[in-house]
Amino acid sequence: MEIGNGQLAILLLLGIMLFSFGCGGDDHAPPEPLPQEGTADNGSAPVFEDEPLGENVTECYDGTPVGNCSATKPKACDITGNLVDDVETCGCPENAFQMGDECIYYCADGTPLGECSKDKPYYCNMSAELYEGASICGCPEGYDAEGEGCRNACDDGTAKEVCSEQTPPYYCNREYELVLNPSLCGCFEWEFMVSGSCYDPTAIGYSNGETIRLSEDVSAVIDKVEELDCEDSRYLGVRLTITNNGDEAFAIEESDVRAYKNNRYRMFSGRPEGCAISSIFRWGEVNAGGEKTGRIYFDMGGGIGDTYSMTISRIYYESILRDFNVTLELED
């Protein structure tokens, strides 16, 4: 059949249109169909872009199922898949103490539970309490453990191996006991030390006017006690008589005689001014077979005492210090 010019033009136009839409060759594959609802591109579970957050979550990132406590207390896995604190449900870890809805990890000074404080000997227990624990934490340098506590001083505050300031003859030893140690610490102000021992001047008492035996051959008498108001001060006056029946001279010096007000406050001898006084005792030797007498005046510092005592000291007899205390009563 012959094709006319008009039919040929129509065929050419149809071929061009088919070629333009890819229908004319093997180099152009047909388009793939759109996925059906309920399937993914790879055939796995369906994907919805508008799915609510947390829907279908079954566990947290550490593997804890939703609604359960994590192994890391006090964390719990909530419905959104997040680990949150839930102390009341899950409790606290072993290194913490539960207090209400909180976990406490430290004591008040910042010490972690179950550890020693920097301030020895304190220990932070698992109840967040600081208590002394020398057996666990030891003591600071220079301190010794005593039970669970530490100490470096005796009961009066004296440091170990130091003389007491409150009680001079006493010494704080290594066992924290206050013991007498005159050779190291000296004696009380009113005492004398001889051969490492302290002697109280009021150790041996006599009455006013009584004969005091200083040795086998020497004796003393103290009497005629009076108070004097002088221009420079107030004085206590006494008469001292020394009798030497021996064959050798006997020496007595001003430093050998003391007077005390109320048994402790020492009064020093002096020469009153501005008042009438009697012959003053002359210190020095008392000749063999001789006697020496005179008055001694003790400065009371302007005060009036209730009681007085006087001591003749530093007199040695058979290598023992003899202290003779005389209770002084004013003359009527």
Per residue in 215-265, pLDDT (tens digit) is: 788 898 988 888 888 888 888 888 999 999 999 999 888 877 877 765 555
Looking at residue 36, its pLDDT comes to 45
Strands 211-213 and 250-252: unpaired
CA distance 64 to 38: 29
Of the chain, the percentage scoring pLDDT greater than 90 comes to: 28
Range(s) of the chain covered by CATH 2.60.40.1240: 201-328
Instruction: Please compute the mean of the pLDDT values over residues 154-158 and round it to a whole number.
Output: 89
Instruction: Please compute the mean of the pLDDT values over residues 55-66 and round it to a whole number.
Output: 87
What pTM was estimated for this model as a whole? Answer: 0.39
Q: What is the pLDDT of residues 261-314, one digit of tens each?
A: 655 556 677 888 888 888 999 999 999 999 999 999 888 775 545 455 566 654
CA distance 276 to 260: 23
DSSP per-residue string spanning 283-296: -EEE-TT-EEEEEE
Q: Which of 255, 249, 239, 241 is nearest to 217 (CA)?
A: 249
Encode 257-288: b = buried (16+ Cβ within 10 Å), e = exposed: bbbbbeeeeebebeebeeeeeeeebebebbee
pLDDT tier, 176 (very low <50, low <70, confident <90, very high otherwise):
very high
Give the CATH number of domain 201-328. 2.60.40.1240
